[in-house]
């Protein structure tokens, strides 16, 4: 497999919810057309110049990759304070931050195809899921991975990154 096909191959596995060994050739070929070497990569900064060394979103073809979001409240003096209230409040604010960023770059929650959820305490899984589920249409839930993570930014309980279509 050439280097040019590695990224689309891995993306196909992620977007179809299959392991790399089970991705069909036709799915790879479709994704190669979507994410090809000729596609323009756009680094999106809908809220001005980032203060940290990453882009809030990157668009490649019809795909939008969002950086991980945590439950910070933009209404705070610095915009860097987590909302109080535990895992439920943080999950809700995290998903609101994702919704706001997606809208700012021309997408929406209905167009999210993949999420990765990182949690400081996996025992809060069910409580996080109750809030998470409410942000997506039943029967159209994004593919998802989850993992326990130690040391999320600002001591967050949850961080979520996602891939959406434009």
pLDDT for the residue 80: 79
**Residue 78: predicted pLDDT:** 56
Tokens 């809208």 correspond to 103
Q: How far is CA 113 from the centre of its chain?
A: 9
Confidence of residue 20 (pLDDT cuts 50, 70, 90): very low
The sheet with strand 158-165 has its strands ordered as 41-44, 57-60, 63-69, 158-165, 112-119, 143-148
Mean pLDDT to the nearest integer, 149-158: 95
For 110-117, what is the mean pLDDT? 98
Is the pLDDT confidence value at 17 over 90?
Answer: no
pLDDT tens by residue, 51-92: 778 888 999 999 999 999 999 987 545 567 999 999 999 999
Q: Is it the case that residue 29 has pLDDT exceeding 60?
A: no
Please say whether the beta carbons of 159 and 93 come within 8 A. no
pLDDT at residue 120 above 90? yes
Q: Is the pLDDT of residue 113 over 70?
A: yes
CA distance 32 to 87: 38
Domain spanning 40-165: CATH superfamily: RutC-like (3.30.1330.40)
pLDDT at 33 over 80: no
| Domain boundaries defined on the chain | 1-39, 40-165
Please state, in angstroms and rounded to a whole number, the distance separating the CA atoms of residues 76 and 97: 14
Residue 105 has phi, psi (to 5 degrees) of: -110, 15
pLDDT of residue 42: 87
């Amino acid at each position: 497999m050439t280097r040019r096909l590695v990224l689309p191959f891995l993306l196909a596995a992620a977007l179809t919810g299959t392991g790399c060994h089970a991705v069909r050739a036709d799915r790879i070929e479709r994704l190669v057309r979507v994410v090809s070497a000729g596609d323009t990569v756009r680094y999106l900064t809908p809220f001005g110049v980032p203060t940290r060394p990453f882009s809030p979103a990157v668009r490649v073809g019809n795909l939008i990759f969002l950086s991980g979001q945590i439950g910070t409240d933009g209404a705070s003096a610095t915009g860097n304070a987590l909302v109080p209230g535990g895992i439920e409040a943080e999950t809700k604010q995290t998903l609101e931050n994702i919704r706001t960023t997606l809208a700012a770059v021309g997408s929406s929650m209905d167009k999210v195809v993949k999420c990765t959820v990182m949690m400081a305490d996996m025992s809060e899984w069910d409580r996080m899921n109750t809030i998470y589920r409410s942000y997506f249409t039943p029967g159209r839930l994004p593919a998802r991975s989850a993992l326990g993570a130690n040391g999320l930014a600002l001591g967050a309980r949850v961080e979520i990154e996602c891939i959406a279509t434009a």
